[in-house]
Amino acid sequence: MPVLTSQTEGQHAGEFIIGEVSSGGDISRDSAALTNGQNLVDGTIIGLTAGKIVALSGEIDTAGLINGVAVEGILIGDWDASGGEIAEVPYLKQLAVVDTSLLTFPTETTTGGQAAAVNAELAAKFIVQR
């Protein structure tokens, strides 16, 4: 009798997406270049700096910015730009439902306030968390 070995399947690209609007050309998604030096995983909350994707970290200010960068959306897929910038990296921008347990939030520098503020920024883009 053959011996079956157990395997663990990793997270798939976009697995955090429960539902999105895809009528008329993927209205929920967008893409941009990933900044050189960034190594990000699927479900990372991202911002754009000079039109390029960056991970957010730091304290959110009263204008809803994290180190001067607004929440743009959620990265789709694992991307490693440590060897140079990567063009056309997809992200979820608006009008979607996502699984909160599969998201990677910015590094918190305030007690509990950071996640709540990021959640509010996502909600303003009609990205609903479950």
**Is 4 domain-assigned?**
no
Question: How does pLDDT run across 68-93, given as a tens digit for each residue?
Answer: 889 999 999 999 999 999 999 999 99
Report if residue 7 sits inside a domain: no
Task: Tell me whether residue 3 is in a domain.
Answer: no
Indicate whether 125 belongs to any domain.
yes
User: Is residue 40, in this structure, part of any structural domain at all?
Assistant: yes
Higher pLDDT: 11 or 103? It is: 103
- The H or E element that residue 109 is part of is none
Instruction: Write the DSSP symbol of residue 98.
Output: E
Encode burial over 26-53: b for 16+ CB neighbours within 10 A, e otherwise.
Answer: eebbeebbbbeebebebbbbbbbeeebb
Is 1 within the bounds of a domain? no
With cut-offs at 50, 70 and 90, classify the pLDDT of residue 125: very high
**89, 123, 65, 14 alpha-carbon torsion, rounded to 10°:** -20
Whole-angstrom distance, CA of residue 60 vs CA of residue 52: 20
Domain assignment of residue 12, yes or no:
no
Domain membership of residue 97 as a residue range: 17-129
Domain count, the chain: 1
Residue 112 forms part of a structural domain: yes
Environment class of 23 (CB within 10 Å of its CB; exposed 0-12, middle 13-18, buried 19+): exposed
- Kindly report the CATH number assigned to the domain that includes residue 89: 2.40.300.10
0.85 cut: is pTM over it? yes
